[in-house]
Structure 1
Amino acid sequence: MPVPFEYTPTGSIMIHDPKYEHDTRTLQTENTHTVCYARVSSADQKTDLQRQTDRLKAFAINMGVTNPQIVQEIGSGMNGSRRKLNRILADPTVTTIIVEHRDRFARMNMELVESSLQAQDRRIIVVDDHELDDDLVRDMTEVLTLFCARLYGRRSASHKAQLMLKAAES
């Protein structure tokens, strides 16, 4: 078979998914660790952040990780200057990053980040990976997300400028 499998004592065949199942000795050694990364866009979603964190921690423990590090962040998925995520990516001892959805990690170019981490024998595990498989649909979604973010960013900047002018006048 093209995937790892084993025969159980009852005669059944158990197929192992290499994406999720690894020897726990390779998941966490003394010099490496696993991080569960949870992110929401705004502070009013803090309850969602806690639920997301709980699900990630339970997933990591079910994978065999004894003490996963939990990192929570509030910030836009379009913003590349998320301090906590950048710290995780820069840390070579973090060998596994677990996220709930692809867009919780990055809205765009997730494949580039995955490739660069894979070149360093590191990986990202997406718990709920039922994203759109059609490349064209995913690309269009990313482009629309980018345009919306820029449009709302301009509106926000324009609104802030108007407020500053009013404050300066009074």
Structure 2
Amino acid sequence: MATGPKSSKTATNEYRISIEGNPYPHALALVNPAGDNLNIKRHGFTGPLGQLLSLKYTVYDDANEKLFTVVDGGFSNMPRVALIIEHKEVAVFDYGLNRLEMKCVTNIPNYTIKGNFLFGDYDIFSQREVKLSSVNVLQCDKQSCFNIQVLDKAELAAAIGIPTAIALLRARIEEHLE
């Protein structure tokens, strides 16, 4: 929960979302630069053996009004992170052995995701992180959505040698609602 002056809505409608893996498990933190009070509720979903499958973070303002939800499904066979606003999936980040892909899956006007995205795979033998590629801007508007494929399988194999079963995704997302 962020600390700061109370407001029924955030002053800037701006949040910074950090998604990190080390490489397992994944952790997600939400920071509001304006310092408004946010109530972040974390929900875990487990499998039949008790393993953690995914995490859902629901963010409320101090008036207990739901702002948005972030779902981290990074524990599944096809890891993905989804940013959900008003029950609409706004952006999806898929990362696996065959591809690293970002999708905008809905049309919300004046909505922009900005930031530096660092995609990497964790080398379990040398215990080092390998930087593969970076993407700067993903934007949605009324007319178009962008689907950016960062790496294909051959590029991934060339970058890290033998692919490991767990991909590491570190992303910093700034989302603005105008």
TM-score by length of 1: 0.31
Of Structure 1 and Structure 2, the greater strand share is in 2
Largest Rg, 1 or 2: 1
Of Structure 1 and Structure 2, the greater helix share is in 1
